[in-house]
Structure 1
Amino acid sequence: MEDKVTSEERETVTFMKSVLEAAFSGIYALRAVRDENDAIIDFTYVFANELIAQQLHMRSEEMTGRSMLQLIPENKLNGFFELFCTVLQKGQTVRDETHFRTSQINAWFDFIIKPIDRDSLVVTLQDITDAKNSMLQLEQQKNLVDNILKNSSNGISVTRMIRDHEGKVIDASTILANDAAVNFSGLSRHTYLNTTAVGLDPGILQSEYGQTCLQTLSTGQPSMFQYYLGVTARWLELTISKMDDDHLIHVFTDITSIK
């Protein structure tokens, strides 16, 4: 009977280990090492699946029983040793993300640290490096665009078409405008971004400028145009480019002084 129970237990352990190895996330368990004063001085690996072991260029079985601070000495100073101790002390689960850098690892991780008992905890982590790098790249691109818009001496704006139920353009609204565009328009930023083109000039769609915009929207060919903005009594020289089927980009300069 004892042999049967032992066999079943071994099968259960083997099955659970297979499940953990098949997991898409990295998973490892740590047990605290305490000194004679009951203070935690290190952790040992109780289990680590292959995703974790690969980060250290090891096999998972090679990590079992090994000192965490020997394998990853950086954990003593990067805050994770202290965090593990705090999780055990408070008995509270922690979730966060980190840019984890060691002599062997340089990656972003989303992690969860869950206490099991007084001395044991489990860490589950997901490598989010690709997603994080993409997000950082988008943020850098956004900052670059923002700086271009902010520092450009030309007015730059993006206009969104407003269509009726048949898809015909009946109006347009400005959804983005840099400071130069607002200054050249002579309008307040609130008015510029919250009043439609027809609201500013009821006949704008029938005007030569309006027809040029619609032609650019239809053909995709950029247009250059000089336009008198009656509401502010300014002459503007515009380059009109198609962004997509519903948006036009305007780049313009106030040329009132030379007209």
Structure 2
Amino acid sequence: MKKTNEIKNKVRLQDAQVLAGGYSPAIRAMEIGAIVSFIALELFLVYRLYNNPHGGPWLLLSAVLLGYLAADFVSGFVHWMGDTWGSTEMPVLGKALIRPFREHHVDEKAITRHDFVETNGNNCLISLPVAVAAVSMPLTSSGWVFCASFLGAMIFWVMATNQFHKWSHMDSPPALIGFLQRVHLILPPAHHRIHHTAPFNKYYCITVGWLNWPLNLVHFFPLAERLVTRVTGLVPREDDIGDEAARALVEAQVAAEAPVVQVAKELLTKATTPEETPPVPVTTRPSS
């Protein structure tokens, strides 16, 4: 607990007004274009799937449900990347994609003031390549129909993720939304609040949050960070919480995981080291 408080005290966030001012007319135009393109592609996919002889209600339902689970993972992975890596000064991506992540940690209520375009434009933009892939599938067998349906459902839920996220930050969401949050069919506010505790390094999944606990249990994102740092030398969260806090967090994570790593090494060594076979005693027959 003491170490956690020390890291929190070292966190240095960026200026909220400067970050909010980075939302330019060019970015808004790009988001509008992305939303229009996304809706058009999704509608075209629905048209192609409608009355397809290789489909069926159970196939489509399973695709939609698996798509929901996949969207939760995608939301977490993209959220982790946006929170952890890159800078607002990067060309194009910095202002369009990374800036909203930085702003959200400084002013988490800002998302509740965003309109439909600003809330959902980015997710539509990153979903466009998958939408193109889905509508390009031949749909000549049940396998193709399932794949196209799964991808179409997944990116629909990815698109809806920021809307769910926005509702989780509202003081008084609509009654139906509040009910869905309470039964954990969409992202609940109390569940998401875990992520908004500095240094913002867990519970990234924000479609529904079902995958947060298992991913946290297996240290999925810390291990991914270790891999990226080893390959690139980058320090996770350096742009988000400042260099001092970011480095202190890395040191704390390494120290906390050291006993587990040591036990794992010992088990691996034991499993891969061949056991010594005791010598077979030699018996001799007495001479007659």
- TM > 0.5 fold call: no
The structure with the largest helix share of the pair is 2
The structure with the largest strand share of the pair is 1
TM-score, normalising length from structure 1? 0.23
Which gives a bigger RCO, structure 1 or 2 (Cα 8 Å, sep 6+)? Answer: 2
Q: Whose Rg is larger? A: 1
